[in-house]
Chains A and B, each alone.
Chain A
Amino acid sequence: MDIDALLRDFGELTVTGLAQGAIYALFALGYTLVYGVLRLINFAHSEVFMVGTFAAVLTWRAFGLDQNSPVPPAAEAAGYLLVALVVAMLAAGLTALVVERVAYRPLRRRNAPVLAFLITAIGASVVLSEAAGVLTRRQVQPTPSLVRSTTVVQFGSTRVTTLQIVLVATALVMMAGLDLFVHRTRLGRGIRAVAQNPEVATLMGVNRDRVIRLVFLLGGLMAGVAALLYDLKIGNPKYNVGFDLGVKAFAAAVLGGIGNLRGALLGGLLLGVVENYGAALFGSNYINAVAFVVLVLALMFRPTGLLGESLGRARA
């Protein structure tokens, strides 16, 4: 127990935790959306994220950037980031759609038991991550540095870097956009209707299959954003990058209340911050253990997560 370290670096830990939490939050959206509509854990979502991280790195490589290239000027870097963002989102979104087509839709037609979906999703996850592993010979994919991490704001001893601001701001903007989409558009109303009651929604003329595809696509797009942020913050993805992070993101979704969009944001940011505090207290080896202990404690007192499960129950 190193309480001194926690108190000394409290601000620093909070800021870095929020930046990490932004990635968890965007990643968690995919789990939450699919769970809200299908009541199933989309195990392959971690690989959707992995595809996104690889897509961004490959895009940069196509521009001739590698880990040794100097940091480009801001305007140029912004261009590279934007292109990589679009490519990563498209690649991840497409992967999510393929997963739905291969691992979910055929079983839905056959009225299969719930466990069967979980296992095909696990199968799809294994196939995707192993295919990436075989193709890359299990090497890390080096990422160029595009954003120079400069301190912009300083409160006392706490420094906030450009990169951290970009991370959290992107997560908030994406979140707000998705929230608006789900709560203010026709398609979003369809999603909420199916989440609330699939049979009645179908009777009311909602195309359930299309809603499910849309939900997978949205989750994939968000995972693509999370993937780009990951490349910026941590970088050097490997074929198994999705697994550990996916477990955390899923935990974040459950912590906030699975099926609840705002819950995913809250759960992600909270998990990022809390595990940072935990790492300071108990040593960085225990970072994952802290995250899960917090999750179990939270579930004991709020069995449906902090904000409750409410993709369907939200107001019109």
Chain B
Amino acid sequence: MKWAVAAVCVALAYLLPALRLPALTTPEPDWATLLFVVAVYVLLALGLNVVVGFAGLLDLGYVGFFAVGAYSVALLTSPNSGVPAGWPWLAALPVAIVVTMLSGVLLGWPTLRLRGDYLAIVTLGFAEIIRVVASDPTSVFKGDRGISDIPHPAPFLRHADGTPVFGVTDARPYYWLTLTLVIVVVFAARNLDRSRVGRSWVAIREDEDAAEAMGVPTFRFKLWAFAIGAAVGGLSGSLYAGTQGFINSASFELLFSILILAGVVMGGSGNLPGAILGGVLIAYLPERLRGIRAPAWLGGQDLFEWRYLMFGLVIILIMLFRPQGVIPSRRRALELKDRDG
């Protein structure tokens, strides 16, 4: 029964691009592009959920990993990146994921021994350092000018008339690719959550000292959570770079990590459907407001200008009414109930 529901949901998700309900679609970007953006956010939310939701590590600089993934792909594949590699996207993808994972380990090694709140500022600093280095116009990342001509995924796949499947006009293949990866990540995360690793994460999240005393190697499992989260971030970054064909330092603002964190916690931290919902909310809500005019007494601006203002209000309201998130983790809810009683 549960599997049947999941299968129907997955099938619906694949059919979404064909479903052009006027109530859902936005004038700009087009529906398929919007779906792609939503799927990338969902992927990021799933990755951050491993770090924040499962292991309880507060990471405020998740966009740093997204950037590492995107730049790895860009440098390895683009003909004008300054790195004379010129690989195809598919070959660069695994390398980018490994590089991002290593960057996660490198960041986690010295910092995961710190207490939670310190971790927050260090991760924030990590993302800022990545952005600062990337925005130096003299560096290999070329700052604002960015890196262009990043090849699209799988150029050998072609339609009957010879045009590539992963082209510039049709965003649907990118959406389907991202959706497939989302499903893979969901399965992996679900299995991890139910394994010995997942139980160790719960133990660490609830009481690190007690977990250590019970023989859980806390540092090693925290590092794993960090590395896995980073790898998913790198994967999303690679997808983003491969779709846009161009990245520059402006794509990786700190605010972005904070939005994703808000999405994960709003949806229900530590719960996969919650994280997915959170990713959808943060990507979809602001875009939905585009093209709607504010009433005259509010200045008559496009509501897109107001998107983050409204978004902030939504965040506050959701958290005030459902502090556990919209779809809380059942296990966590039970634990909290237990704590109150």
Contacts and interface: CB of A to CB of B under 8 A. Distances in A.
A154 interface: no
B313 interface: yes
A130 interface: yes
A112 B324 CA distance: 7
Interface of A: 35, 39, 41, 102-103, 106-107, 110-113, 115-116, 118-120, 122-127, 130-131, 133-134, 243, 247, 250-251, 254, 258, 283, 285-289, 291-293, 295-296, 299-300, 303
A292 B312 CA distance: 28
B120 interface: yes
Interface stretch (B34-42, B180-188, B262-270): B262-270
Interface in B295-331: 299, 301, 305-306, 308-309, 311-316, 319-320, 323-324
A123 B262 contact: yes
A130 B121 contact: no
Interface stretch (B109-117, B168-176, B222-230): B109-117
Contact of B125 (A127, A287, A295, A300): A295
A293 B266 CA distance: 31
B306 A134 contact: yes
Contacts of A299: 111, 114, 118, 122
A295 B323 contact: no
Contacts of A291: 125
B315 to A, nearest CB: 3
Main secondary structure of the interface of B (DSSP, over half): helix
Interface stretch (B1-9, B83-91, B129-137, B195-203): B129-137
B120 A41 contact: yes
Nearest to B319: A120
8 pairs of A and B residues whose beta carbons are closest in the complex: A292-B125, A126-B312, A123-B315, A112-B323, A127-B312, A130-B309, A123-B316, A116-B323
B318 to A, nearest CB: 9
15 contacts: A41-B117, A115-B269, A118-B265, A119-B265, A120-B316, A122-B258, A124-B316, A127-B309, A127-B316, A134-B301, A247-B128, A250-B124, A288-B129, A293-B125, A299-B122
Given A116-B319, A116-B324, A243-B255, 7 more contacts: A123-B315, A127-B313, A130-B306, A134-B306, A251-B121, A254-B121, A289-B128
A289 B64 CA distance: 13
A68 B308 CA distance: 34
Contacts of A288: 128-129, 132
Contact of B132 (A120, A122, A285): A285
Interface residues of B, number: 47
Nearest to B324: A113
A123 B136 CA distance: 31
Contacts of A131: 309
Contacts of A110: 323
Contact of B316 (A102, A283, A286, A296): A102
Contacts of B135: 285
Contacts of B133: 286, 289
B58 A118 contact: yes
B150 interface: no
A8 to B, nearest CB: 22
Contact of A119 (B115, B124, B319): B319
Nearest to A126: B312
A289 B129 contact: yes
A134 B305 contact: yes
Contacts of A243: 254-255
Given A41-B120, A107-B323, A247-B254, A296 B111 contact: yes
